[in-house]
Amino acid sequence: MSFLKKIKQKLTGQSDSVTSKFKSGLTKTRNSVASKVNNLVKRYRKVDEEFFEELEDILIGADVGVTTVMDIVERLKDEARTRNIKDTEALREVIAEVLADMLTKSEEETSLKMNENGLTVYLFVGVNGVGKTTTIGKLANRFKNEGKKVLLAAGDTFRAGAIEQLEIWGERAGVDVIKHQEGSDPAAVVFDAVAAAKSRGVDILICDTAGRLQNKVNLMKELEKVKRVISRELPDAPHEVLLALDATTGQNALSQAKTFGEATDVTGIVLTKLDGTAKGGIVFAIRNELDLPVKLVTLGEGIDDIQPFDADAFVYGLFGDMLEDAGDSEAEEV
C-alpha cells in the first residue's frame, strides 16, 4: 500500500473538519514548500546530487533548519539507495513519508497528559507576544465544550494588561480566573488557584506565567518557584509544561524553545499562528533538534481555532495535493 493510501486510511474516521482545518491553515507553508517540491520533481527526471541540493534550499527556505534539513536529505538518500529509486516521481511519497516519520514517534507522545484520578494542571510558558494567553483561552473553551470543569490562574503578573486579557478570554470561554493584583508573586497566585481548584472540584487548571526574557535568571527562578508550589500541593503536577511558540518567527522560535528548556522542564510545544506563516517547517526543526513533541496548534483567530497536533493531518495538509497528483499520474500510466 502506498504512503498516500496509508495516510488517507489513518485519517478516515476523523472529523473532516480537522483535516480541512489543517489543510486550509497550512496554505502559506504549502505554497512555500509542497508546490516548490512538486515543481522540483517535475523539472528533474532523475534523482541526483543537484536535485537534493535544490531540495535542501526549498526546505531551508521554509525554516526547517539547516541541521534538520541535512538529516532529512541524508535519510532520503538512504531510502533512494535502499529502494533503488532513480526517478524523482517515485521519490515524492518518500519525501512526505520521511517527514511524517520525523514528526512523531507515537500517538501517545502528542496527546496531552491527563490525571484520570483528580485535578490536572497545565503550566503555560513562553515569551510575550506569542499568543500564550489567547491559546490558554482557546484551550479552556475546548475543554469546557468537552464537559470539563476548568479554572484559569493569572500567573503573568508582570506584563501590563495580562491579567485583564486572561479575564476577557475566561469570560469568552465561560470559566473563572484566579487573580491577584499586578506585580504580585506569581507563585502565590498559583498556590491560591490550586487551592480553589481543589475546593471547587475542578477537572483542569491552566496556569499562565510571565514571558519576559530580558533577565533569564529571574525568569528561571520564577518558573522553578511556580513549579515547586504546584508540585508541593499536587505531587504529580504539573502534568504538562507547555511552551507556546509563534510559528511566524521561524528559527527564532527554536532559540526560545532552547532558552525555556533551560528554565523549566518543557514537556510539549503549542505552536501558534500556524495559519499566518510560510515557515511551518519549524515544526520539523523543533521535533528533530529539541526532541519535543508538538501537542497543540492554533490555525486561526477564533476561539475554536485550536487543534491537537496530528502528524498525519499536518503532512497531508502540506503534501496531500502533491501526492494526489502523483496518484493520478500513476493511474494514467496504468
327 is in an annotated binding site: no
287 is in an annotated binding site: no
Number of domains the chain is built from: 2
226 is in an annotated binding site: no
Contact assessment for residue 163 and residue 179, using Cβ atoms and an 8 Å cutoff: yes
- For the domain that residue 27 is a member of, what is the CATH number? 1.20.120.140
312 is in an annotated binding site: no
210 is in an annotated binding site: yes
- Shared domain for 76 and 135, answered yes or no, is no
Q: Quote the pTM value.
A: 0.87
pLDDT for the residue numbered 285: 86
Query: Domain for residue 8, yes or no?
Result: no
170 is in an annotated binding site: no
- Shared domain for 26 and 126, answered yes or no, is no
pLDDT for the residue numbered 264: 78
264 is in an annotated binding site: no
- Shared domain for 151 and 228, answered yes or no, is yes
One digit per residue, the tens of pLDDT, for the chain of length 334 reads 566 566 666 666 555 566 777 777 888 888 878 888 888 988 988 899 999 999 999 998 888 889 999 999 999 999 999 999 988 888 888 888 888 888 876 667 788 999 998 999 999 998 888 899 999 999 999 999 999 999 999 999 988 899 999 999 999 999 999 999 999 999 999 999 999 999 999 999 999 998 866 566 777 788 889 999 999 999 999 999 999 998 888 788 888 888 787 777 899 999 998 888 777 788 888 888 888 889 999 888 889 889 888 888 888 888 777 666 555 544 444 3
12 is in an annotated binding site: no
pLDDT for the residue numbered 11: 66
- Shared domain for 281 and 230, answered yes or no, is yes
127 is in an annotated binding site: yes
Query: Domain for residue 59, yes or no?
Result: yes
Expressed as residue numbers, the domain containing 205 is 112-311
pLDDT for the residue numbered 333: 43
155 is in an annotated binding site: no
209 is in an annotated binding site: yes
- Shared domain for 158 and 87, answered yes or no, is no
Query: Domain for residue 2, yes or no?
Result: no
- Shared domain for 155 and 69, answered yes or no, is no
